[in-house]
Amino acid sequence: MLIIFKSHASGDVIMLEKNGKELLSLLGKDPDDANGIVTVEQLPSAIVAVKMAIEADKARHLKQADDEGEADGNLGDGVRLFQRALPLLELLERSLKDAVPVTWGV
């Protein structure tokens, strides 16, 4: 199953269910809700939450790479949260700029 984040400010952001639910949790939304909305009023705090999660994940990734002796920080462990969250962050920021909500499952 897919979770599709939509906004009139930009194109859709499509995620696999597992990844979408993880990001919904970061936004303070119930990941089990089949549809919902991030209102214009909620966008600033949603953006801060996603940015904080991105920075925390990057820090964990670099620490793990350092612990394992990877000089370039590349553990070859697939797509990380900070990489998956960037398209949603951009959608949230564009939506805030245009003062339009972000929805999913609608």
Decide which of 64 and 28 is more confident.
28
Stated length of the chain: 106
d(CA 35, CA 105): 4
Q: How far is CA 69 from CA 17, 21, 64, 83, 101, in A?
A: 33, 32, 9, 22, 43
pLDDT reported for residue 74: 55
Report the share of the chain in percent with pLDDT over 90. 74
